Amino acid sequence: MTLTIRQTTILNLLSRKKNMSNAELCDQLYCSLSTLRRDLLELENNGLVKRHHGGATIISKSNTEFSHFYRETENNEAKKYIASLAADFIGNGMSIFLDSSSTSFYICEHLQHFHNIIVVTNGLRNAISLSSMDNVKVYLPGGELKTNSTSIVGELASNFLTNFKADLCFLSCRGIDSEGTYEASLNQALFKQHLMANAKQSILLCDETKFDSPHFFNLSNYRHIDVLITNTEPSIDYLESAHNYDFELLY
């Protein structure tokens, strides 16, 4: 699914108001009720909204892993900025783990400027983006392709990582607080733990929307994070965590 401009607008409206009537949405979108219903049905089929009589509600983010179709519309300028900071850690001849997050995707375009790069990623979108670069060798794990996702996860995918030792691991997460990082999916958490365990340096990419947002599945405490990159200055709690756990905090 590729989101249309109107569907993206629907998601943005519902992200702010959570619940809106069909009449409100039609008024904001300048579209007919039949057009709106078609868009809402498609968004519901992709796990982004829940329709109800007379309106729609955005699906709660709490302990729910949003599909990549939604994540592609969220905070893209911040993610591009974070990726540009992350690229400073990359050098020629490096081996890199990239998770399937929408933030990691923006790192791919920076890899064209380096020589002899090896990438292991569980993100199909990452792999497709990198496939046109003759300076990058790409490895994909086998495993379960998640519904409404471009992400490969599961035990097979995690076991595949034991064949590699990467210089850098770039990953994002569902949320963080002052004590650690979290995922909304157990499979994603387990896979990313394997990424970090098999990398010399782990770099966490978190835009401002991820802060103060703990979730059910514990990904990692900050002892296993070497660098945290975000797009705005975080609160004093995170600055203290960076000092206490001795990780670099960039923004």
Residue 23 domain-assigned?
yes
CATH number of the CATH domain containing 15: 1.10.10.10
Residue 136 or 18, more confident: 136
CA–CA dist 229, 183 (Å, integer): 17
Q: Are residues 100 and 34 in the same domain?
A: no
Parent domain of 146: 70-250
Select from 40, 59, 78 the last residue of a domain. Answer: 59
Q: Are residues 53 and 136 in the same domain?
A: no
Q: Are residues 74 and 175 in the same domain?
A: yes
CA angle centred on 15, ends 40 and 38, rounded to 5°? 10
Residue 225 domain-assigned?
yes
pLDDT single digits (tens) 186-228: 999 999 999 999 999 999 999 998 999 888 899 999 999 999 9
Q: Are residues 214 and 139 in the same domain?
A: yes
Token pair for 75: 């905070």
Select from 35, 59, 83 the last residue of a domain. Answer: 59
DSSP codes of every residue in 127-152: HHHHTT-TTEEEE---SEE-TTSSBE
Q: Are residues 55 and 79 in the same domain?
A: no
**Per-residue model confidence (pLDDT) at position 242:** 96
**Per-residue model confidence (pLDDT) at position 71:** 54
Residue 65 domain-assigned?
no
Residue 47 domain-assigned?
yes
pLDDT single digits (tens) 86-96: 999 999 999 99
Residues 132-148 have a mean pLDDT of 92
Q: Are residues 151 and 222 in the same domain?
A: yes
Select from 14, 38, 59 the last residue of a domain. Answer: 59
Q: Are residues 135 and 217 in the same domain?
A: yes
Q: Are residues 83 and 207 in the same domain?
A: yes
Q: How many residues does the chain have?
A: 251
Please check the confidence at residue 120 and state whether its pLDDT lies above 90: yes
- Please report, as a single letter, which amino acid is at residue 163: N
Q: Are residues 145 and 84 in the same domain?
A: yes
Q: Are residues 98 and 213 in the same domain?
A: yes
Residue 67 or 85, more confident: 85
CATH number of the CATH domain containing 138: 3.40.50.1360
Q: Are residues 36 and 80 in the same domain?
A: no
In the chain, how many domains are there? 2
**Per-residue model confidence (pLDDT) at position 68:** 54
CA angle centred on 71, ends 80 and 98, rounded to 5°? 60
**Per-residue model confidence (pLDDT) at position 169:** 98
pLDDT single digits (tens) 19-74: 899 999 999 999 999 999 999 998 888 778 889 889 998 876 544 555 555 555 56
Residue 64 domain-assigned?
no
Residue 28 domain-assigned?
yes
Q: Are residues 138 and 232 in the same domain?
A: yes
Residue 184 domain-assigned?
yes
Residue 246 domain-assigned?
yes
> What 3-state DSSP class applies to 185?
coil
